[in-house]
Each structure stands twice: as structure tokens, then as C-alpha cells.
Amino acid sequence: MSYYEQAVPPVRDQRLKIGDSFAGSACELLDCAKAGCMLRGNRMFWQTGACQMGLTLMMAATVEGAAIVMHGPIGCGTQLHALSVQTNKGKARRGKVPSPPAWLSTNLQESEVIGGGEQKLRETILYADREFRPQIIFVVATCAPNIIGDDVEEIVAQVGKSTAAHVVSLHCPGFKSRVVASAYDAFYHGLLRHLPLEPEPWRDFVPLDGNSPQAGMERKKYEFQKSRTVNLWNATSIGANDEDELVRLLGALGLKVRVFAEYANADELRLVSQAALNVSMCNVHDDYMLSFLKEKFGTPYIVAGMPLGFADTRRWLCAIAAHFGLEREAGRLADAEEASARAAIEPFLPKIRGKRALLCGGVVRVGSEALMLEELGMNVLGLRAYHYDDGAEPIFEQLAGALPDIRVAVSNQLFELCNQVKKLKPDLVISHMGTQGTLAKLGVPSVQLFDADKSFFGYSGLFSLLRRIAFAFENTSYQERLAAHVKFPYRDSWYEKDAFYYIKNQER
Amino acid sequence: MTSFVERPRSACALSGALSTFSALPGVIPIVHAAMGCGGNLSGANSFGAGYWGAGYCGGGSVPTSAITETEIVFGGDERLREEIESTIELMDGALYVVATGCMTEMIGDDTKGVAADFAREGRPVIAVSTPSFKGDSYAGYEIALNGIFNEYLGGAAKKGKDPRLVNIFGVVPAYDPFFRGDLEEIARLAKGLGLEANTFFTPDQTFENVERAPSASLNIVFSRAWGTSFAKQFEDAHGTPYWVTDLPVGPEASDEFLFGLADRTGISQRKARALVKRENDVYYGYFERTADVFCDSDFKFYAVTVTNANYAIPVARYAHRELGWVLLDSFVTDQLSEPQKDALSGAWSRTGLPSGLSYEADTSLIARAITQRHPENRGQRYFDSPTPLFILGSSLEKATALKRGANQLSISFPAFNRMIVDRGYAGYRGGLHLFEDIVGSLVFPKG
């Protein structure tokens, strides 16, 4: 049975070769991934991070007109308070009404943990439907109902018959995988199984009247528009500025662009099937959804890395252009864009040249940015990818070719980051959200690896990122003052050990 | 069966325990749960409490057994043992506390047994049971305190009492977003009476304060709902009596608090009177000058408060007594048991506040209750509407206030639209701060 027909999506550990504990070179990483040793990687010490439920919520909270029912004990979903602040901004930025999603917790108690929480889930969904009249109710199945065996899918199917909203289950129990990237699949699995993804006659379009003299023309118009329409797939780490930049570039090639699935609503999501091509912005985000759409609607898709820096942006643009026979136009567009962007970044290059940087965060982004920054004259000391899976292989093939000896770790662990920073003494760390405070306490300036409020992609993103890097080097007094006064919880002996001392099951 | 909750302002017991440990010097928490529990929860409470932050060993630094499906099936004891071993090797702490998540409780891991094995070897490791389905963040605070003060310190040799030493409890880190400023002001006032207060959760404290706690001669519990059962057990374990009272916000409440504290610690009322006079002189030295803008601008409001149980009486009393505002409603957003509600409601009526206390957790139902009880003008020529209205609540009340053109200040969890560092509303200084913040929010649009 295909994954798409299953009630509960697979985690990436089941679907792909995956890992979260590794240290070595780019070549060694590829060997390890291919040999399967990546799968066995583990640690004798772990620090808390996120879970697939957390990332699933980040996506679900953006959806316009959605309510969220957390099926679990009261703690699961508490980050929605903070997420709502961010998604309000994201909605406003995209011209939507900035209203926080209504969300509820089924607030499972000891009695339900013993006797089952299905009844409570049913009541909560019905209440959410009556009270908030959302277009979509996301039912988020957390660890507890998964362990006690609540049949969430059955409840969703039953209750969904009597609700005005589409009830969409999102199965994302944290214990199923330490790798949060499974969340992308969990979110898309819910959408593809429970939401209509095709336009409805009369609601979304007026059906063709075969007898009308206009029918032929209307059909041609529809077919032409669809043949020039591209769906762009975003994700939490990709902000509105980046969407705008890519819409601008694809628009310059004469393509119409719709952006999915974050910040879309149920009406917009019905148009997902009305495109000539689905385009990913990251290798590890959306292959699950895009291959479903190919299977279901025959829409081809392109996964061509992230449009970061000159080379990868050109490659990304050309891959899309090739699908439409627009290679020459794309080449000319990239030439023109590069010429003006190169002139614009010129003043920043001396400021970053030779600076030693450590990169940490999403596996594709760190790889792509490392290549870009090396090309622009920075000295990339190493990469820390938060996880590794097959999707990232093309990037690491590139890396292994260009920088075969670059240090690569698969790590989202702060203690390892602290050890590395103390030893490598980078001039700058480009790092994942949530680590900047730690880096400042270590006395190192840092730049966000991604930030939904800022630009990264394409030409305006490159300019903006270089500005921010140069800006980070200007006056590092805050970091120096802070570091002089802050104590970390690690013993001094930790810094005498190898940063990856606690990784086990890896031949090194 | 308890009901579902809309946008709960409290998370699980593990969350309360984590914010408690994160604020306790020398304590290293170890979360026995899936990878995300610790990160999600400490992320939420470190941002939601006025951007409190992760600190020494909070947020992504917290050790965890990070259990996966393998442990769910085969048990997580061995993984936990390995994690504790590594944590002690790697991290510098005076006490290592294992806190459980729901999944490891459901599969029946022997967490306490594993911790006890370490303790037998003379290593400072304890375990507390903090599954989500046993209670919320406030309950988690109590469970955490019990583990450290009653279980861990309960075994220590009995020491004599220090008549000048008091412990402060009931103020919950993060879920009382002003906990640090409040604790510091209480300690300052206690010092004025010649006492020393263990605040535990402020940066001036060390683990030594925790170890000295049993020798205190009084525990002050600033909560009608949380901490009483802990204080009872503390009394059983260490013989220290406790006093349950409200956090004093503003001069009148602080006067009462100081007389009460002197009474309970054998300090003369004369000394208390002298301190009260000094503090009032300073308070009114500042406060009297504010009367010009306050009165000329007509900053008299109808007031609705939406807070946790701890802040309900202190803030309502301040608005009623110190500002002369007209209280309409006070909503308590905690999930309380009937005895807890009785304790809080009893204290409320003894305080003599004119309005009612409502127990409601759901943000949209609070908004609806305000609308239904205090309707706005819907086109009538003459209408006695409750305007101007000021909502003292959390940042969730911002939308509610906006909708009916009311003013709002975030003084309760979650508070996302302000930064809270050492600010507190307790005591005399806190009364001035609360005034400053309320009037500050009113004059902010000027200029």
C-alpha cells in the first residue's frame, strides 16, 4: 500500500536513510549515508530540541481560517502562543487578516490516559466547529493518544461528517522520530488525505457550456493559463521576502506563480492541482507532497536545491525554465540579475573576505550557503547539519567535490556547538534560530541562517545576507562583554574532549 | 471528566518543573521524555514570560533521555541511566533532577529507581514525577519544590532554626512573569524588618540558599491556590510553619503585609511601623507628582482583570484601592480544583473587593463574558456603557481589548508584547512600577 493511502504517515526514519549523529568530512558523510551507518548513529548524551509535532504546528498555525485541536495533555501546543505572534506577522505581510488561530487542547487527564480520549476529542472538534466556524480543523495527534491507542483517524472520519469545517488529522507524535523533518510529511499527509485539492464547479469556476460558441476559446484560455502556472512550495523557514523574490524572478520568465501551502486557506488549496509544475525550494521539505501531486494529478515537479547564491539560484531558475523551454530567457535573466547584484555586493566583499565561519542548521541550507560563501571569499570552517536524509545527497555531492575536507557534523546539540566554537574560534557563526543567544554568550557574533522576516533567496536575498554578515562584524562589543560574564553549565573537562565524544555507533 | 481548554495559559507539570529548575541556581534538570518535550516547553515559557530566556541550563541546554519508539516498546530505564551518567560527567550542578514526561510514565519506567541507584552511590540525583496528565505547570512547580525541599533535603540532618530567616514560595517562575522583581522586592522589605529572605529564584541566590531553607523559621506562600500542600509537607519534614497570604502590590497591601510579617516573626510592631512610614514617605514622594497627569488626563477607568490565581487579588486590589478604578470583573484563568477555588474566593471576599471573581480559562469565553455582562452602545441615544475600559490581562487580551476600544496591559502569562527583566509589581516599588506601566501605556501614543 502506498504511503498516501495509509491513515498515518511514515516518519522519515521509515521512508528514507536518515541520521542525526555524525561527525567527519563531506566525503565520509556520503560514504556513511550510503553504507547505512548514518542510521545507527546515536549519542550517549542528548539535549532537548524540537519534535515533529513542534514543526507540524509551525506549518499548521499559518493556514488561514484554521483552528487547531491538540489531542493530548495540556502541555502539547503551548508554543502556539509564540507561534501565533509570528504567524500574525506572516499573515499581515501576505495581505491577510492577522488573526491568531483558535486552538484548543483536549487536556487529557489520567482518567483518559487509562480509559481513552476519543470521546473528548469528538467533543472538542464539535465545539471548535460550532464556536469558531473555521474552514479547517487540524487535529494534532500527539504522543499520549498514540501510546494509548486512540483511533484518531476513525474519530476524524466520523465527526468530519457533521462539521462545517474540513477535519484534517496531523499525526506527529514526537517519540516516533528524533528528526523533526518528518513534520513536513506529517503536515502534507493530512492535507493530501483530508482536503479537496481540486476546484469545485460553480464555487471556483463556471463549468463550460459545450454548446456555447465561446467554449473552445474558454478551454484554450484555461489550458494556456494552467500551462504557465507554477506552484511554489514554501515552509516555515522561508519568509514572504523570499517568496516575493522568487515570484519576481519566475514572473520575469512569464510564469504565473502561486505559493503553497503555508498561509494558504482551504479555497486557495483547491487550486493546487491547477498548475503545470510544482517547484520545491528545499530538497528536504516537500518531496512527499510533490510526488503525491504527480501521482494524483500528473503534475510534474522539480526539486533543485535552494536558490541561495549566484550558482544555486541560476541552477534553480534554469531547472524550472527548462521545463517550459525558457532556458535561454532564464540564462539571460540570470546574467542580468547577477551583473547588477555583483556590483551591489562589491563593497561588502572586502569585509567578509577570509573571515572564518561556522554554519549550522538545516542540512540543505548549510550546504548551499557554505558553497556560496566560499565562492565569495569566506573561509567556511565547518558545517553542522541538524539532520541528514537522502534528499540532501545532491548538495553533499556538490560539497564533497568543491570542499572535500570540510568538517561536517550532523548535530543539533548545543554542547557540541559550544565545544566547537571554543576550539575553532570562528569569526562568525551563521546559525539556526534558537542558538544566537548561546553564541553571543560564547562571545561570537552570529547571523540567522534563516529568518522569516528577512531575505535570503535569489539576488536581493544574497545582497541582504551579505549586508547582514558585514553588519555583524561591526562592533562586537555586546558579545565580548556578555561572554566575559556568563558561565555555561559544562565542566572545563568537556572542552578538553572531542566535540563529538558522545556520539556512538560511528567508526571514526 | 475535565473539559477541553481553549488556548490554555498553563502547560503541563513538566513545563512548570522545568521553569522552576531553570530559575534555581545549581540545579540541572534531566528530562525523561521524547526529544521535543523539554525544548518545546522551555521555549514556550522562556518567550511567553516577557522573553525570560533560557538561562544557565534551560532551553536547548537541558539534558534529555530523548526516548524514541524503541524505548516506548522496550522501556527507557537504560537510556535514562546512560543520560544521567553522561550529564554528571559533562555538566556542573549541585543537584541533578530527573523530571518525567507523560510517555515514560505511561510505559511504566522506574525513573525513581534509576535515580535512587545514583543517590546510593552518593551522587546528588533525584527524580520527580511530572507527567502532563497529573497536573499543569502550577502543579509542576509544587511537584518540583516537593522533590527538592521535602524529599532531597528531607533526609538531611535537622539543623536549628534561624529566627531571622524566611523562605518565599508561591511565586511561580515564568507563569508569574514578574517573579524575579516581585521576589526581590519582598526580600528588600523583609530586610527592612531585619529578616533575611531566601528567594531561591533571583540571580543573587545560590544553591546554598536551597540547602539553608530548612532552617528558616517561616515559609511565606504568596498564593491561595498553589504551594499550600507543599508548605504543609515542608512543615512535616522540617518543622517550619507557613503563612499563606497574597502578594502585596501597592502601599496599602504592603503595609498590611509588613505588619503581618512582623507579627509572625516576633518583630516589634514599632519597628514595622517605622519601616511602613519610611516606605510610604518614599512611595508618596514619587506618587504625588503623578497626580497631575493622572487627574488632568482623566485616567480613571473601569477595570477588568484576567490573570492567574496568584495575581487576581493583588492586581484587583491595587486597581480598586490605589487607583480608585471601578472593578467590573476579575477572571482567573488557572484550572483550579474546588478547594483551591474556595480558598481563593474566600480570600477575595475577605479583601472586600466590590466585584465578582470568575473562573474561566478560555480566551474567547472571557471575551464573550465581558461583552455580555458589559454591553456596548448599539445605537441608543443615551447609553451607560462601561467606558473607558482597561483590561489588565495577558497578551491574549490584546485582541479582546482592541475589539472594543479598551486599553490593555500584559501583566499575566503569556506576555509577548513586552520585555520583563527585573521589573516586579510587588511591594511599594512594585506599586510604582505598575502605575508607571499602566500610565506609560496610556501616554505612549502621545508626542
Which CATH number is correct for A352-504, 3.40.50.300, 3.40.50.970, 3.10.129.10, 3.40.50.1980?
Answer: 3.40.50.1980
Which tens digits make up the pLDDT trace of A465-499? 999 999 999 999 999 999 999 999 999 999 999 99
Are both A215-340 and A352-504 of the same fold? Answer: yes
Provide the pLDDT for residue B65.
98
Q: Report the b/e string of A48-85 with b at 16+ CB within 10 A.
A: bbbbbbbbbbbbbbbbbbbbbbbbbbbbbbbbbbbbbb
Q: How far apart are CA A55 and CA B183, in angstroms?
A: 36
CA dihedral B394, A122, A110, B57 (to 10 degrees): -40
Given the DSSP bridges, would you call strands A388-389 and B407-410 parallel, antiparallel or unpaired? unpaired
Which tens digits make up the pLDDT trace of A346-364? 999 999 999 999 999 999 9
A1: exposed, middle or buried (Cβ count in 10 Å: 0-12, 13-18, 19+): exposed
B54 touches chain A (CB under 8 A): yes
Architecture of domain A215-340: 3-Layer(aba) Sandwich (3.40)
Give the three cell numbers for residue A391: 534528499
Provide the pLDDT for residue A205.
93
Which tens digits make up the pLDDT trace of B42-97? 889 889 999 999 999 999 999 999 999 999 999 999 999 999 999 999 999 999 99
Asked if residues A429 and A321 have their Cβ atoms less than 8 Å apart, the reply is no
B402 touches chain A (CB under 8 A): no
Residue of A464, A441, A233, A240 lying closest to A345 (CA atoms): A464
Tell me which CATH code domain B13-155 carries: 3.40.50.1980
Give the three cell numbers for residue B381: 441615544
Q: Which residues contact B431 (CB under 8 A, 6 or more apart)?
A: B249, B250, B251, B254, B283, B318, B322, B425
Q: Which residues contact B41 (CB under 8 A, 6 or more apart)?
A: A75, A78, B11, B12, B14, B15, B18
Residue of A79, A140, A175 for testing the chain B interface, max B β-carbons within 10 Å: A175
Nearest to A44 among B3, B54, B86 (CB): B86
Q: How far apart are CA B237 and CA B256, in angstroms?
A: 29
Residue of B6, B28, B31, B35 for testing the chain A interface, max A β-carbons within 10 Å: B35
Per CB-CB distance under 8 Å, the chain B contacts of A45 are: 63, 83, 86-87, 90
Give the three cell numbers for residue B422: 527585573
Which tens digits make up the pLDDT trace of A203-253? 999 999 889 999 999 999 999 999 999 999 999 899 999 999 999 999 999
Provide the pLDDT for residue A39.
85
Does residue A164 have a pLDDT over 70? Answer: yes
CB contact under 8 A, A82 and B103: no
CB contact under 8 A, B56 and A487: yes
**How many residues make up chain B in this entry?**
447
Provide the pLDDT for residue B191.
98
Q: How far apart are CA A472 and CA A459, in angstroms?
A: 20
Q: Report the b/e string of B8-37 with b at 16+ CB within 10 A.
A: bbbbbbbbbbbbbbbbbbbbbbbbbbbbbb
Provide the pLDDT for residue B134.
85
In CATH terms, the fold of domain B162-265 is Rossmann fold (3.40.50)
Residue A307: strand, helix, or coil: coil
Nearest to B40 among A54, A147, A502 (CB): A54
Residue A292's H or E segment, with its range, is helix A287-297
Per CB-CB distance under 8 Å, the chain B contacts of A73 are: 12, 102, 131-133
Which tens digits make up the pLDDT trace of B152-174? 998 776 779 999 999 999 999 99
Give the three cell numbers for residue A419: 565545544
Region B187-204: what's the mean pLDDT? 98
For A241-394, strand residue ranges (E) read 256-260, 277-280, 301-302, 356-361, 379-385, 388-389
In this prediction the ipTM stands at 0.95
Provide the pLDDT for residue A54.
96
The amino acid sitting at B238 is H
CB contact under 8 A, B8 and A78: yes
Q: How open is the CA angle B212-B213-B214, to the nearest 5 degrees?
A: 95
Start-end ranges of CATH 3.40.50.1980 in chain B?
A: 13-155, 162-265, 295-443
DSSP 8-class letter at B64: B
DSSP states along A63-86: STTEEEEEESSTTTTTTHHHHHHH
- The share of chain B scoring above pLDDT 90, in percent, equals 94
Q: Provide the 10 A C-beta neighbour count for residue A191.
A: 25
3-state secondary structure A413-445: CHHHHHHHHHHHCCCEEEECCCCHHHHHHCCCC
Given the DSSP bridges, would you call strands A356-361 and A379-385 parallel, antiparallel or unpaired? parallel
A229: exposed, middle or buried (Cβ count in 10 Å: 0-12, 13-18, 19+): middle
Which tens digits make up the pLDDT trace of B27-48? 999 999 999 999 999 889 889 9
Which tens digits make up the pLDDT trace of B307-352? 999 999 999 999 999 999 999 999 999 999 999 999 999 999 999 9
A125: exposed, middle or buried (Cβ count in 10 Å: 0-12, 13-18, 19+): buried
Q: Which residues contact B246 (CB under 8 A, 6 or more apart)?
A: B222, B224, B253, B313, B314, B317, B347, B351
Q: How far apart are CA A312 and CA A296, in angstroms?
A: 30
- The share of chain B scoring above pLDDT 70, in percent, equals 99
Does residue B408 have a pLDDT over 80? Answer: yes
**Nearest CA of chain A to the CA of B241: how many Å?**
32
CB contact under 8 A, B1 and A82: no
- The share of chain A scoring above pLDDT 90, in percent, equals 94
Write down the CATH superfamily of domain A52-171. Answer: Nitrogenase molybdenum iron protein domain (3.40.50.1980)
Give the distance, in angstroms, between the CA of residue B148 and the centroid of all CA atoms in the same chain: 18
Provide the pLDDT for residue B1.
53
CB contact under 8 A, A177 and B68: yes
Nearest to B8 among A105, A131, A174 (CB): A105
DSSP 8-class letter at A278: E
Region B13-39: what's the mean pLDDT? 97
Q: How far apart are CA A280 and CA A323, in angstroms?
A: 14
- At A184, the pLDDT band (50, 70, 90 cuts) reads very high
Provide the pLDDT for residue A446.
97
Residue of B42, B98, B45, B37 lying closest to A144 (CA atoms): B37
Quote the pTM value: 0.96
Residue A488: strand, helix, or coil: coil
In the sheet where A66-71 sits, what is the strand order? A166-171, A136-141, A66-71, A102-105, B5-6
Residue B47: strand, helix, or coil: helix
Provide the pLDDT for residue A233.
97
Which tens digits make up the pLDDT trace of B368-377? 999 999 998 8
In the sheet where B302-307 sits, what is the strand order? B356-359, B326-332, B302-307, B389-393, B407-410
Q: Provide the 10 A C-beta neighbour count for residue B82.
A: 18
Region A382-410: what's the mean pLDDT? 93
Q: How open is the CA angle A156-A157-A161, to the nearest 5 degrees?
A: 105
Provide the pLDDT for residue A406.
92
Q: How far apart are CA A244 and CA A256, in angstroms?
A: 12
In CATH terms, the fold of domain B295-443 is Rossmann fold (3.40.50)
Residue of B283, B167, B55 lying closest to A414 (CA atoms): B55
Q: Which residues contact A330 (CB under 8 A, 6 or more apart)?
A: A253, A314, A317, A318, A320, A321, A322
Per CB-CB distance under 8 Å, the chain A contacts of B59 are: 48, 434
Q: How far apart are CA B126 and CA B230, in angstroms?
A: 17
B249 touches chain A (CB under 8 A): no
Q: Which residues contact A452 (CB under 8 A, 6 or more apart)?
A: A86, A89, A90, A236, A237, A238, A239, A240
The amino acid sitting at A174 is G
DSSP states along A104-156: EE----HHHHHH-SHHHHHHHHHHHHHHH--SEEEEEE-HHHHHHT--HHHHH
B337 touches chain A (CB under 8 A): no
Q: How far apart are CA B285 and CA B273, in angstroms?
A: 18
Q: How far apart are CA A61 and CA A189, in angstroms?
A: 16
B353 touches chain A (CB under 8 A): no
Asked if residues A502 and A490 have their Cβ atoms less than 8 Å apart, the reply is no
**Nearest CA of chain B to the CA of A197: how many Å?**
29
- The dihedrals phi and psi of A379, each to the nearest 5 degrees, come to -110, 105
Region A115-120: what's the mean pLDDT? 95
Asked if residues A184 and A286 have their Cβ atoms less than 8 Å apart, the reply is yes
Strand partners, A231: A258, A278
Q: Where exactly are the structural domains of chain A? A: 52-171, 215-340, 352-504
- At A507, the pLDDT band (50, 70, 90 cuts) reads low
Q: How open is the CA angle B11-B13-B14, to the nearest 5 degrees?
A: 95
Does residue A71 have a pLDDT over 80? Answer: yes
A426: exposed, middle or buried (Cβ count in 10 Å: 0-12, 13-18, 19+): buried
B399 touches chain A (CB under 8 A): yes
Whether omega for the bond prior to residue B414 falls within 30 degrees of 0, making it cis, is: yes
Does residue A316 have a pLDDT over 80? Answer: yes
DSSP states along B100-124: E-HHHHHTT--HHHHHHHHHHTT--
B4 touches chain A (CB under 8 A): yes
Q: How far apart are CA B418 and CA B392, in angstroms?
A: 14
Q: How far apart are CA B229 and CA B236, in angstroms?
A: 11
B379: exposed, middle or buried (Cβ count in 10 Å: 0-12, 13-18, 19+): exposed
